[in-house]
Amino acid sequence: MTGGYPVGPMRLSCLFAPTLREDPADAEIPSHRLLLRAGFIRPVMAGVYTTLPLGLRTMRKIERIVREEMDASGAQEIRMPIVLPADPWKATGRYELYGDVMFKLTDRHDRELVLGPTQEEVAAPLIAGDLPSYRDLPINVYQVEWKYRDEFRPRFGLLRGREFLMKDAYSFDRDEEGMRESYRIMYEAYERVFERCGLDFVVVEADPGQIGGGVNHEFMARASVGEDLFVECENGDYLADTEAARPMAPEPAGEGTEPMVEVDTPDTPTIEALAAFLGVEPSRTLKCVMFDVAGRSTAVLVPGDREVSVNKLEKLVFPAKVRVFEDGDFEARGFVKGYVGPQGFGEDVLVVADHLVRGGRDWITGSNARDRHVRGANVGRDFRVDRWEDVVEFREGDRCPVDGGSLRIGRSIVVGHIYQLGTNYSAPLGARFVDEDGTEKPYVMGSYGIGISRIMAAAVEQRHDDLGIVWSKALAPFEVVVLVANQDDERVCAEGERIYRELGQMGVDVLIDDRELTAGVKFADADLIGYPVQVVVGRRGIEQGSVDLKLRATGERSSAALVDATRAVVDLLASAP
């Protein structure tokens, strides 16, 4: 018997919310597995999903939080197309830069098109086309729209999809100062967004990536399955990008005590071979890595158990180009590969030492002759350092630069990323305004992204247990489920309907599970879907004049008098996270 369409999406009996008993085979992480099992999403192909009614409700709640905070920050919502002409992307160089990650197509007239992975190339010409005066600045436009990246290996459900929902905003200012202010406003709006979404997150100033990139911050939701790493102090007072973490400099080790002597070390061109041959820890040796920096030979010194961060070196000497020595460089410039030491370098060699080198003395290092090293080399006495810098690659256990605590790697999911773009896009796109002095200038831009569908997945990663999802009130598809345990009992149904109706009238986002199924199935589904509060209306309770309540987050159960059930639910909901 088909029952027609009972109106109202708040009845589980008429909600398209199919749950799965079994874990889907290819779902590797909890959010992927649970969003499939609880009926929030269904795959269409690799990295591309349909969002079902429950998923859409949660997504809309996230969108709403984002929109409210964007609007409250003076940003204005617009909507940009998804299918875009390729030319602006060629002008900014991103057509090449994205490469295969960008979906590309041609239209019937063989014009090259792309599917937008972000929208700087649309927003900049848009504002430039209509807003020619500095008086109209600043302006910040945003949209909530699907984005496209043709990931080589889409996986992890909504975390690395090929189609994903993003809020992207673009600010336009007349100068750097304005851009920094627009950026600050967005930074604060982002903090509010992720707080309201109930995420446990950190904000990390990210490595600018390509040299010359501007300031940018990542908003990272902690998650053990996250692929985005950051560095944090065990005491919670330091956060950094793994590329940018600066360990605390050690106490200076003081003057050396040994004389510098040469030793025979046959066939030991690597630190490993040397330390093994001499029977010492690698940290006792001094590693001396040679680079060409804008033509000048440059030696970078770090303790033997550490690596030089080429990234840090590049930023130190930017815009000069950095190139690690090749075999030919050693020979041509008179260095012996595998046996370089800093003693006796001429002024033509720039000597950069990491701060960690201050913590050691009586170093073992190269003798500048094949198969020989020196012991007892000391800074100042035996070799000079031109610049003390942070050039070492971060390692777990390094000391925090703030309080000396132990630094560790945190794993996360990046849910927001904001950038100070400067004129990197507006200049090549010719997106200009007329300044007070009458001259045309490129906008100084910022761009600001939030992964809406990613937040949904990140929230599940942070809030789930063996039974299913544990939604926060803010993101739950429904705040409360009224679970009718005995659907065949008229009185039970009537009381369930009453409580459901009263909660709705009080503005609670409530769903009734009125399906013709056993209580056991309903209990399992309620835990799986993860409504913050469950109200169980059953025969035995009714006979005793009570209903059972359960707070999903803690599993805590309580009961309330039937007559007072609605108020008890509202109170319990208020206490829910």
Q: Which residue, 56 or 350, is less far from a second copy as judged by CB?
A: 56
CA dist., res. 320 & res. 313, Å (int): 10
Q: Decide: 27 and 36 in contact? Cβ < 8 Å.
A: yes
Of 149 and 550, which CB lies nearer to a second copy in the complex structure? 149
Alpha-carbon distances of 214 from 45, 210, 245, rounded to whole Å: 36, 9, 17
- Give 51 or 268: the residue with its C-beta nearer to a second copy: 51
For residue 140, which of 105, 108, 90, 187 has the smallest C-alpha distance? 187
Query: Between residues 75 and 549, which has the closer beta carbon with respect to a second copy?
Result: 75
What's the min distance (Å) between Cβ of 8 and a second copy? 8
User: How far is Cα 268 from Cα 72, in angstroms, rounded to an integer?
Assistant: 64
Structure tokens at 99: 């490469």
If binding is defined by CB under 8 A, does position 51 make contact with a second copy?
A: yes
State which of residues 12, 33, 49, 576 lies at the interface with a second copy (CB under 8 A).
49
Nearest CA among 142, 137, 166 for reference residue 72: 142
Least Å from the CB of residue 415 to a second copy:
20
Q: Is 45 in the site for a second copy (CB under 8 A)?
A: yes
Q: Measured at the alpha carbon of residue 139, what is the angle toward residues 137 and 145, in degrees to the nearest 5?
A: 165
SS3 150: coil
Is 78 among the residues that bind a second copy (CB under 8 A)? Answer: yes
69 CB burial (10 A radius; 0-12, 13-18, 19+): buried
Does residue 50 touch a second copy according to CB under 8 A? Answer: yes
Choose, by CB under 8 A, the member of 31, 58, 118, 140 that binds a second copy. Answer: 140
Q: Does 48 bind a second copy (CB under 8 A)?
A: yes
If one asks whether residue 176 binds a second copy (CB under 8 A), the answer comes out as: no
The verdict on 187 binding a second copy (CB under 8 A) reads no
Write the interaction track for a second copy spanning residues 84-113; mark x where CB under 8 A is met and - where it is not: xx--------------x--xxx-xx--x--
Contact pattern for a second copy over residues 359 through 398, marking x by CB under 8 A:
----------------------------------------
162 near a second copy, rule: CB under 8 A: yes
Cβ distance 172 to 41 under 8 Å? no
Q: Judged by CB, which is closer to a second copy: 51, or 242?
A: 51
Of 33, 61, 160, 174, the one binding a second copy (CB under 8 A) is: 174
Q: Which is nearer to a second copy, 50 or 406 (CB)?
A: 50
Separation of alpha carbons 122 and 48, rounded Å = 24
141 binds a second copy (CB under 8 A): yes
> Are 286 and 301 within 8 A, CB to CB?
yes
Q: Which residues pair with 145 in a beta bridge?
A: 166
Amino acid of residue 337: K
The partner residues of 363 in beta bridges, in order of sequence, read: 377
Q: Which amino acid is at 59?
A: M
Residue 5 binds a second copy (CB under 8 A): yes
Are 285 and 308 contacting, i.e. CB atoms less than 8 angstroms apart? no
d(CA 89, CA 479): 44
| Minimum distance of a second copy from residue 139's CB (angstroms) | 6
Choose which of 44, 369, 521, 561 interacts with a second copy (CB under 8 A).
44
Concatenated DSSP letters of 191-210: HHHHHHTT--EEEEEPP--S
58 binds a second copy (CB under 8 A): no
Among positions 273-332, residues that touch a second copy (CB under 8 A) are: none
CB 81 within 8 A of CB 87: no
Please choose, out of 13-21, 239-247, 273-281, 367-375, the segment that lies near a second copy by the rule CB under 8 A.
13-21
Site stretch for a second copy (CB under 8 A), options 89-97, 141-149, 333-341, 357-365: 141-149
Q: Applying CB under 8 A, which part among 179-187, 209-217, 363-371, 520-528 lies near a second copy?
A: 179-187
Are residues 417 and 228 in contact, defined by beta-carbon separation less than 8 angstroms?
A: no
Burial grade of 201 (CB within 10 A; 0-12, 13-18, 19 or more): buried
Cα(57)–Cα(455) distance, integer angstroms: 13
Least distance in Å: CB of 124 to a second copy? 12
* # chain residues binding a second copy, by CB under 8 A: 72
DSSP class of 2: -
Decide if residue 63 touches a second copy (CB under 8 A).
no
Largest CA distance in the chain: 97
562 binding a second copy? (CB under 8 A): no
Which of 75, 301, 407, 429 is the binder for a second copy (CB under 8 A)?
75
Contact region with a second copy (CB under 8 A), list: 174-182, 289-297, 346-354, 523-531:
174-182
d(CA 90, CA 435): 27
Q: Name the packing angle between helices 490-505 and 565-575 (round to 10°).
A: 50
- With CB under 8 A as the contact rule, the residue among 23, 76, 323, 396 that binds a second copy is 76
Residue 1 in the binding site for a second copy (CB under 8 A): yes
By the rule CB under 8 A, 77 interacts with a second copy: yes
Q: Contact between 53 and a second copy (CB under 8 A)?
A: yes
Question: What residues numbered 114-133 form the site for a second copy, per CB under 8 A?
Answer: 115, 122, 126-127, 129-131
* Type of residue found at 22: E
Q: Does 83 bind a second copy (CB under 8 A)?
A: yes
Find the part of the chain contacting a second copy (CB under 8 A) among 41-49, 368-376, 394-402, 475-483: 41-49
